[in-house]
Structure 1
């Protein structure tokens, strides 16, 4: 089994804010990232973002579709599939000193080996899966990754998370990419999104 990591935003209340409002000009096209990527032709060539926060230093803010030039450099290094556009950011009236981009990973993979995994299919999906031909899982108690996964950064369809390879994670750590945490998908990992409801 190839080692994969779930990539998550790790706020610190400073350069990686817990929450902030932002306004995009022009507006971003509507898209539901868990089920689709934006259509590139609907995106502007450049955006202006007004962010209600005093500071941003995190290299990837997935909830805001923002990534730094340094993070995109690692994506380039590993030939990852993604969609990006240049962004100018104003932070509470002051220009952000760093280069940021609209960013979404665009590769979507069914990366689970169903023969070696233990799971329960969701017979009554709560999320509209009409745009996806993939089955919806109520829970996955044992997740075995398919041997043929070669991508370094992608949307892992079965668990609705962005995942990366060990090499990608190691390079992010080596280059001190900030604002991210990495959780290994190992024998203890379980996907149980409805357990808290």
Structure 2
């Protein structure tokens, strides 16, 4: 079984800003990423965008669907599935000087939890009844065991609603000094409990 890691944006308030306004020109087509991928045919060949920040150096900004060419090179090296389009980013009226960016979304979506070996509570508050066990939603997962045969290096893990990566992908990010990312290993201490903070 592969080790998997949740990949998340790690802001530092400088080149990886905490919060900032970001305007796509033209607007991106609408899609709800937790349940669907953007349709490649609905994207135009190239975008522009305005970022209300003094600087931008992070290599992957998932909330804004942005990734640097450096990050895309790792995805290509690890044979990951994604959709991308080049973006010219304006910062304080000028083109972003440090990196070239792309619209980016991981397009491989997997249900990667071993149902027999994991321990979980199904979500009983769904508005729509789900009869297919492969499409269940989870209120919490107390023990998450990865299914055997999961060989992907970067994908959307549907049960926990997170983008995850393999150890190979993580090592490439470290070796190539990818900036603005954090990695959390899915191990025996991992718990999926999205409602615990409410």
Output the TM-score relative to the length of structure 1: 0.95
Q: Deviations over 1:34-55 (max 9, x none)?
A: 1111111111110000010011
Residue correspondences, number: 194
Matches within 5 A, 1:1-197: 1-97=1-97, 98-125=99-126, 134-197=135-198
SS at match of 1:162: strand
Q: Deviations over 1:126-176 (max 9, x none)?
A: 7998xxx61100000000001110100000000000000000001100110
SS at match of 2:171: helix
Q: Deviations over 1:64-107 (max 9, x none)?
A: 00000000000000110000000000012121022100000000
Structure 1 distance, partners of 2:187, 2:196, is 19
Query: Over aligned residues, Cα RMSD in angstroms?
Result: 1.5
Structure 2 distance, partners of 1:135, 1:124, is 12
Query: Deviation above 6 Å: which 4+ runs of structure 1?
Result: 126-129
Unaligned runs of 5+ in 1: none
